[in-house]
C-alpha cells in the first residue's frame, strides 16, 4: 500500500478519530551506561530519576544554572537496550546542544564513569496515535500494549523486528511510540499501514503541531526556551525540588516566589485570522505579552494560541486583543488545555 499524505485537517481528524502515523525518527535518542547513570541523570534532569522502576518513563526538563529551559525530555528506565538501563529522547533541534551540555556535566559533576552514546542515527522512532492506535498495533507486537500503563515502555518485536514500544505521544490522544533499528523503520512503517487496511493515515509535523497545541503541550522554541523557566511555563509537575539537588534547582525555587513574571495562557478567537509566534498581546492600549504558538484548530473550528502575558490578565474570561498583521483581533483567555480526550 503506497503512502498517501493528505491535508493537515484530514490528518488531524484521522488522529482524533482513528489513527495517525508520525515519523519522529529525527528526535534525538541517547543511552546512558554505568553504575551511576541514574545518579547522573538525577543531577541534570528536573524530575527524580533515582528510584524509577524498570519500565517507567518520566517527562522532565533540562535547565541551565539560571533555571532557563534547555530542553524537555523523556527519560526511560527500560533494561536491556544497548546494555544500558536508561535512555533519553530529546528534541531534534536541541540534540547537539544537549549532547554537548551533558558531556560537559559528566566532567563538571564528577561522573566520568558514566558513558553517554548518541544512538539517533542507528535507530528510528514512529508514533502511532489515536483512539484506534492500540488495537491497530496489538497484532504487530509481542508485548501486551493494551495492559501497559501510560508512560511505560517495554522491549518487543514490532512486525518481526526487534524494538521497543511505549505508551507515550505528543498529540493529546492515546497511542504509542515505537523505536526500531533505522534499517527496519520503513518495513515497520509499511506493516502498520498494511495492518490498518486504509484506516491509518500518514501524518506530518504540521498535523502534529495542531494536535499538540489543542492539547496545550509546549513546544521547544515556542513555549519553551532558555529565557523561560518551568514555573512560568506552568510545568510545576515536571520538576521535583524536595529532598534532592539538580542543576537549576535553586533558581527554580526562586522563580516559585516570583509573582510578577509572565504566565503561559490559552487564547481563543472568534474570527478566522490566525495568530502567530511573537504577535503582540494587548490589554486595551497596553502591551501585556506575546503569542508563543498559534494555529487554526480543526477540532474547535477557530483560531487558538498559547501566549505569555502579565499575571494580572492571565485569568480565564479576560478579554484581550492581539495585533494580527496590523489588525486588532479580540481574544478571550481560556483554560488549558483547549482539548482533552475522553478517557475510556
pLDDT in tens, 228-265: 999 999 999 999 999 999 999 999 999 999 999 999 99
Confidence band, pLDDT 50/70/90 cuts, at residue 193: very high
Q: Residue 318: how many CA atoms within 13 Å on its side-chain side?
A: 21
For residue 160, CA distances in Å to 139, 175, 193, 198 come to 11, 20, 15, 21
Cis amide prior to 204 (ω within 30 degrees): no
* Residue 2 reports pLDDT greater than 60: no
State the Cα–Cα distance between residues 231 and 252, nearest whole angstrom.
7
Report all structural domains of the chain as residue ranges with CATH numbers, in order of start. 8-210 (3.30.1360.120), 262-334 (2.40.30.110)
pLDDT value, residue 3: 47
> Rounded CA gap, 279 and 309, in Å?
12
14-23, 80-89, 186-195, 292-301 — which is least confidently predicted? 80-89
pTM score, whole prediction: 0.95
Mean pLDDT on 187-213 = 96
**For range 184-201, the mean pLDDT:** 96
> Measured between alpha carbons, how far is 82 from 164 in angstroms, rounded to an integer?
12
Give the residue from 219, 137, 139, 125 showing the smallest Cα distance to 172: 219
Q: What is the pLDDT of residues 296-338, one digit of tens each?
A: 999 999 999 999 999 999 999 999 999 999 999 999 999 999 9
Amino acid at each position: 500500500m503506497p503512502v498517501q499524505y493528505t491535508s493537515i485537517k484530514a490528518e488531524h481528524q484521522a488522529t482524533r478519530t482513528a489513527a495517525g502515523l508520525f515519523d519522529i525518527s529525527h528526535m534525538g535518542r541517547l543511552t546512558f551506561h554505568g553504575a551511576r547513570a541514574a545518579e547522573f541523570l538525577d543531577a541534570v534532569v528536573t524530575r527524580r530519576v533515582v528510584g524509577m522502576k524498570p519500565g517507567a518513563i518520566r517527562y522532565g526538563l533540562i535547565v541551565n544554572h539560571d533555571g532557563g529551559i534547555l530542553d524537555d525530555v523523556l527519560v526511560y528506565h527500560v533494561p536491556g537496550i544497548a546494555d544500558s538501563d536508561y535512555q533519553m529522547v530529546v528534541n531534534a533541534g536541541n540534540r547537539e546542544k544537549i549532547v554537548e551540555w551533558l558531556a560537559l556535566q559528566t566532567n563538571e559533576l564528577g561522573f566520568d564513569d558514566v558513558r553517554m552514546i548518541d544512538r539517533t542515527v542507528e535507530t528510528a522512532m514512529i508514533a502511532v496515535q489515536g483512539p484506534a492506535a492500540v488495537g491497530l498495533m496489538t497484532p504487530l507486537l509481542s508485548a501486551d500494549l493494551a495492559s501497559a500503563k501510560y508512560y511505560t515502555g517495554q522491549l518487543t518485536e514490532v512486525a518481526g523486528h526487534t524494538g521497543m514500544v511505549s505508551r507515550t505521544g505528543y498529540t493529546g490522544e492515546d497511542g504509542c511510540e515505537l523505536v526500531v533499528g533505522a534499517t527496519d523503520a520503513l518495513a515497520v512503517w509499511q506493516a502498520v499501514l498494511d495492518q490498518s487496511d486504509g484506516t491509518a493515515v500518514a501524518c506530518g509535523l504540521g498535523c502534529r503541531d495542531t494536535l499538540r497545541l489543542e492539547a496545550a503541550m509546549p513546544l521547544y522554541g515556542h513555549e519553551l526556551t532558555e529565557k523561560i523557566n518551568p514555573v512560568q511555563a506552568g510545568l510545576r509537575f515536571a520538576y521535583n525540588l524536595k529532598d534532592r539537588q539538580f542543576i537549576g534547582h535553586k533558581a527554580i525555587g526562586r522563580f516559585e516566589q516570583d509573582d510578577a513574571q509572565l504566565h503561559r495562557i490559552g487564547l481563543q478567537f472568534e474570527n478566522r485570522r490566525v495568530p502567530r509566534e511573537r504577535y503582540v498581546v494587548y490589554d486595551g492600549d497596553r502591551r501585556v505579552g506575546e503569542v508563543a504558538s498559534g494555529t487554526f484548530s480543526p477540532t474547535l473550528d477557530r483560531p487558538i494560541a498559547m501566549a505569555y502575558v502579565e499575571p494580572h490578565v492571565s485569568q480565564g474570561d479576560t478579554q484581550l486583543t492581539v495585533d494580527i498583521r496590523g489588525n486588532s483581533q479580540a481574544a478571550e483567555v481560556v483554560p488549558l488545555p483547549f482539548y482533552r480526550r475522553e478517557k475510556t
